Amino acid sequence: MTELIDFDLFNYLEKSEAENVLSHVHTRSFKKKTQIVTEGDDSHSLYFLLEGEVKVYLNDDSGKEIIINMHKPGDFFGELGLVKSIPRTASIVTVSDCQIGVMQEFDFKHCLATYPAFSIALIENLSTRLIDATETIRQLGLMDVYQRIAVTFLNLSEEKGDVRVIPEKLTQQNIANRVGASREMVARILKDLRAGGYITQDSNGIIIHKTLPHSW
């Protein structure tokens, strides 16, 4: 399990400062499929993911869902609503049993005001997320569905020998939610990639056997 002290938010703090900040974080357990944050709710807490995985998503009145991000141990979330004092901008649900550190809004703002190094680390993180968000917008706006799938596979995969492996099991609907496309379109593209020998799928995930073509 990831330790709180290992989070990037504490990189620039002296040991005593980090201990003071961490005294405001309380660990809680959450079962799989627990709704942690709901879009539009008031923002009251900052969350540190110690164990498990959570999904950040948006949906509309018809139930259509777009996955914005998947957070893993070492990630924190919920800071934007606290910094801006605005309602939650997305929903977050656990996709496995999780251990999460929780810091309340008052303590978060106290730490920002008291420890400049804490504030600098937060600004750096927000800058990184802005860059990631810009890239996501570029993909959705300028790339076709195949290109979005190819980029998603590249980002999720790990190099293992002569192949790249996506270790998590992705359903067609999950991929569709990530790239903002229909399940039917994703199914057709995956079928073509399998037929071309580019990928294979099994219960353990997806194996990419050769470089995916630039366009399809």
Predicted confidence (pLDDT) per residue in 121-141, tens digit = 999 999 998 898 887 777 767
Answer with the residue of higher pLDDT: 61 or 179.
179
Residue range 45-63: mean pLDDT, rounded: 90
Percent of the chain with pLDDT over 90: 68
The structural domains of the chain, ordered by start, are 4-141 (2.60.120.10), 144-208 (1.10.10.10)
Q: Can you tell me the distance from the alpha carbon of 212 to that of 190, in angstroms, rounded to the nearest whole number? A: 12
Structure confidence at residue 149 (pLDDT): 92
Predicted confidence (pLDDT) per residue in 91-129, tens digit = 999 999 999 999 999 999 999 999 999 999 999 999 998
Q: Is the pLDDT of residue 171 over 80?
A: yes
Q: Is the pLDDT of residue 168 over 90?
A: no
Structure confidence at residue 216 (pLDDT): 73
Q: Is the pLDDT of residue 150 over 80?
A: yes
pTM: 0.74
Long-range contacts of 170-175 (CB under 8 A, 24+ apart): 170/205, 170/206, 174/67, 175/149
Structure confidence at residue 137 (pLDDT): 75
Q: Can you tell me the distance from the alpha carbon of 214 to that of 216, in angstroms, rounded to the nearest whole number? A: 7
Q: Can you tell me the distance from the alpha carbon of 173 to that of 176, in angstroms, rounded to the nearest whole number? A: 5
Band (pLDDT 50/70/90 cuts) for residue 65 is confident
Q: Can you tell me the distance from the alpha carbon of 17 to that of 86, in angstroms, rounded to the nearest whole number? A: 28
For residue 130, how many other CB atoms are within 10 A of its CB? 10
Structure confidence at residue 35 (pLDDT): 97
Q: Is the pLDDT of residue 142 over 70?
A: no
Average pLDDT, the chain: 91
